[in-house]
Chains A and B, each alone.
Chain A
């Protein structure tokens, strides 16, 4: 078995974000790390929309990201710390729109290890050096400089190691142009490791240490080290240093040490200032629980600076420092606003705040004000004795604030993120859809959602209106060449033409010069200010003074097809003749003296737009009824000579020539594509050679069941093609690569570009008798998602086999259920406590829910109608029970009536796992599945993490035990049990009497149920320990599984063993066989292994294309959706693996990770080809492309075609 791994949706989570002027222009950009991907985002200052400029797979795991700028420079560089054991400095090159690796310095082993640097990065604010640090001991300092040619140079590393010390955070101090200094937050463990009494551990001090890089001596010294708060977790740089021009200091320099509940200002030889972190005054808040800062950002303005710190609850605080030169007078904090909990915050100079959420969608906010003159209580260090440091070991009294809706910020843009995907199903539930949808349970806490993902582009309808009849075509046109917007909409009906004028309103106009008594075949704005209408009996050339020059078709003939551009017109007559017209310099349309007889009825015609600076386009494509397409010359020297001919498999229904940029074929110039739509719904895309007019590199694609119509449109000022069949598809260029994506919209019969003041980049289409104007807002996306909000983190869901509803379980740890908190608040009220209603009623989607102690759970069962995208019913769980698993079981004992079994547990603690009691709740479906009736609860001694229907009974994984239950009157009745699993059962799969059991730590066990003896027996297991998160059966003997470290693998059982076990009626053979390696008697064999880089949360064996092959689809925690496609032939395997080998040697990883070791992170990669790497072939420079293609004995086009074919036949994407 050989598999091809392809990512359909790359991770959507953002783990780090950093702002800077990376392109060297005035606009600021944001570089974000999506774990295994690096992206450059550009927020538009006017519209506030965030656009992705480039995205690049790094084939490694990014652990830290920082930006710096050399002194006097205008351009920022990015430094990346990853698991490659290398530090990498990246430069964004706006010309080629790519990240360029400027420097790559190796310092250690690869992998995310304890003492290999990469976890933390700190840069000197003047861009003179960078420190990279590990979690323990190792810190390296690199000096950055310029050489004579003003290129960035990097020194060899200087060590600032400290043995036996754990590093919490590092930061570069702002010291102006003094020697660069770095601050680190460290704890030494050498003493607590030696002291059995535990006293040293209790007295362990967290040290704030300054490291100074002496630029003169080229040496790093430990300058200063002082103990600070033992619960400090984060450092923030405070501006400092003197301006060269004046004596003023930018700030006092030093650091803010963010600790649990406090923030301390700290600097060498300066008094400390301490302030409390204000808390929410929620009646149910746990006041014993500390509050930490998880994200921070400092912003410098002219002559001032402030900090925004975010607590783990999402509240932003504005922190300011009052200072006189270098002396700090006061440290102040006040509540600012509440936004989702961020992994990184970025403030842009243009007044935006980018919040990269740790889970869920990311947001861009605009600052309305800086919270300077509001009534928020402010807490200053001067309010406390000795600036809050009277006794550092005692906490300051709690400070409180009232959370409220956004006041200082307004939301301007939202970036969708699926992270985290916790469970998914792939099914086709929508009516009229021939491809399945992906249903995913996403998000965390109150911001969770249930999403339906469809392959396609989102379409935003601007306006739609009913028409009197059913038109068969629509056009829009300008009046003059240089008009910014369209003026007319022309609708062609069976017996007439209607012209509408676009103004304040859209209304019919009469005196346009267009013939209204006949249908129209083509409309064109021609020359400088004339219009052209082609109708079956002639061509009308409407001049700007409304004079009409008409060319009439000879008697007895009609025009059957026409194609036009700004200077040329070609029409085909019913007598199979072509007539060619060209505009002369006086604006007269002249007929070419000869007509060309084609010999077969012409069905479709197309010419390209006139290239810039040229008189004409030299090629005409003619599709004939004899199933051919001919390329005919329009060159003055060989006018209407046939150049080449291509045979088709069906008569063509439409042809469209368009010049489009595809960097895979040509990096700099657009390629001329001839798109041929056939009557059987197949689209052929061929490349027209501009020199000899030959058609090469044909690619085919099935679009739908109706004959195809092709329309050339403008998509963001670039040419695109709209292909209409039973689905509408858009072919366009995005980030220099060609995309072909269906539109999620009503079926269109015809469409055209539409540009008006209110909708400058729209499209206009007709579906039936409705005219629709729409636009496509999110180019580049492949999946459209529709979301239903949920109340708690979704855990698992299951579809009902008959009624099309989903049953979903949700649960949150450390959260009180809504009912429990209402109850607790009522109790407080009864005790006479004052309750602030406003705080209690804050929406939990924005503010979250107050944290409760560990062991508190909120959970519910939700019934969802996925087609109507709504929640049908919610059944909350009480008594601190939380749901962990569910199954729909047809109990044989109840005549195969379907029941929902939900595995829950009461008072659950996670580590170590414990609960007062587990339950199997059995529900009956009522009201056609819209409601549930609890029949009974069956107690279990551990948490039931997996349940499944099995031969008319229920099989449950309860902790380490696998049990079979049958339906009883008051309880489920335990029939048989096997307790020999090693840690906890997390997944179950079945076929026949075989049960595949995924263990939390010990991979997949093969078990079998033997009814005669009533025994559950394990007969095979894996030789490797695997921390299973998801499994699916590929066939009776084969299982595919994902583990916690981001691997997917396929295990197979020897078919002989399988037969032997099946033939043994009682299982006595298995029972008496000797175990191997302290496990089962048989072992599975690993067939394939691959490191995805994202934690796999679900795997399915599905077919994504109608009638296509079955593939494996997996989802990842950070929002990845990928597929594993089995190869069909040995040649494919050889070809693609050789290509992969060549691609590996190109060293594409911009973090310097070796591709082979990345994909074989934990176990060497086996029998899986990385499609993402292979597809980056399209981005290689042309020389490299042809070199690799030459090695493979193919042309570049053939390699690209093969790659596209693999993607399209497997996924349709």
Chain B
């Protein structure tokens, strides 16, 4: 979908994106996509008890520590965004 369409024909889409964080769109950059992916994964680890336990055992940390570090990493999971060209 072109950006033009997005702003004219389907004004609701903007609203939907705001509502459903993590939904992709046509102009998504690689960085944004990757950040979404990582945040989803990290949230999934925090949200599934067995996955959090698994990582805690592998890493030799307490589950609480694993959850905390995963949530912390959600702030910026893939480093700073690339500089814009324009």
Q: Which positions in A face B, CB cutoff 8 Å? A: 13, 15, 35, 61-63, 83, 112-115, 118-119, 134-137, 163-164, 166, 168, 187, 189, 192-198, 201, 204, 231, 233, 292-295, 312, 341, 343, 358-359, 419-420, 422, 444-445, 793, 812-815, 851, 854, 910, 1044-1046, 1093-1095, 1116-1118
Contact = CB atoms under 8 A, between A and B. Distances in A.
A793 B57 contact: yes
A15 B46 CA distance: 12
Given A115-B22, A196-B81, A812 B60 contact: yes
B44 A1094 contact: no
Contacts of B22: 114-115
Contacts of B65: 292, 294, 312
A35 B50 contact: yes
B68 A233 contact: yes
A119 B47 contact: yes
A815 B50 CA distance: 23
Given A114-B21, A198-B79, A1044-B54, 14 more contacts: A61-B48, A135-B43, A136-B43, A193-B76, A196-B82, A201-B80, A204-B75, A292-B68, A294-B63, A343-B63, A444-B56, A851-B60, A1044-B51, A1093-B50
A1044 B61 CA distance: 19
A853 to B, nearest CB: 11
Contacts of B30: none
Contacts of B83: 196
Interface residues of B, number: 39
B57 A420 contact: yes
A166 B73 CA distance: 10
Given A312-B61, A814-B59, A192 B80 contact: yes
A317 to B, nearest CB: 15
Interface string B7-21: 000000000001011
Nearest to B21: A115
Contacts, number: 146
B47 A83 contact: yes
A135 B42 CA distance: 10
A348 to B, nearest CB: 22
Nearest to B74: A166
14 contacts: A13-B49, A135-B74, A136-B39, A136-B43, A166-B75, A195-B80, A197-B80, A231-B72, A233-B68, A294-B63, A294-B65, A295-B64, A358-B63, A444-B57
A63 B53 contact: no
A13 B53 contact: yes
Nearest to A11: B50
A136 B74 contact: yes
Contacts of B43: 112-114, 119, 134-136
A1066 B69 CA distance: 51
A1031 B77 CA distance: 32
Given A166-B74, A204-B75, A1118-B49, A114 B40 contact: yes
A1116 B74 contact: no
B26 interface: no
Contacts of A166: 71, 74-75
Contacts of B79: 198
A1093 B46 CA distance: 15
A77 B56 CA distance: 32
Given A192-B76, A1117-B54, A63 B63 contact: no
Contacts of A193: 35, 76, 81
A62 B21 CA distance: 23
Given A112-B44, A113-B43, A163 B21 contact: yes
Interface centre among B54, B72, B80 (most CB of A within 10 A): B80
A358 B53 contact: yes
Nearest to A1095: B50
B28 interface: no
A422 B49 contact: no
Contacts of A233: 64, 68, 71
A164 B21 CA distance: 8
A1072 B53 CA distance: 44
Nearest to A857: B60
B59 A910 contact: yes
Most B CB within 10 A of own CB, among A136, A194, A1046: A136
Contacts of A419: 53
Nearest to A14: B49
B58 interface: yes
Contacts of B47: 63, 83, 112-113, 118-119, 135
A201 B72 CA distance: 11
B80 A1117 contact: no
Contacts of A814: 59-61
Contact of A358 (B60, B62, B82): B62
A444 B58 CA distance: 10
A187 B75 contact: yes
A323 to B, nearest CB: 28
Contacts of B56: 358, 444
Contacts of A114: 21-22, 39-40, 43-44
A232 to B, nearest CB: 10
A115 B20 contact: yes
Contact of B58 (A112, A135, A341, A813): A813
A873 B78 CA distance: 46
Contacts of B72: 231
B70 to A, nearest CB: 9
Contacts of B68: 168, 233, 292
B4 to A, nearest CB: 23
B75 to A, nearest CB: 5
Contacts of B63: 294, 341, 343, 358
A63 B52 CA distance: 12
A163 B19 CA distance: 9
B53 to A, nearest CB: 6
Contacts of B60: 445, 793, 812-815, 851
Contact of A119 (B46, B76, B80): B46
B50 A1117 contact: yes
Contacts of B21: 114-115, 136-137, 163-164
A970 to B, nearest CB: 33
A705 B62 CA distance: 50
B65 to A, nearest CB: 5
A201 B80 CA distance: 8
A910 B47 CA distance: 22
B84 A1095 contact: no
B62 A192 contact: no
Given A189-B75, A233-B68, A1116-B50, A195 B57 contact: no
A904 B74 CA distance: 33
A455 to B, nearest CB: 25
Contacts of A1093: 50
Given A135-B74, A166-B71, A312 B64 contact: yes
Contacts of A198: 79-80
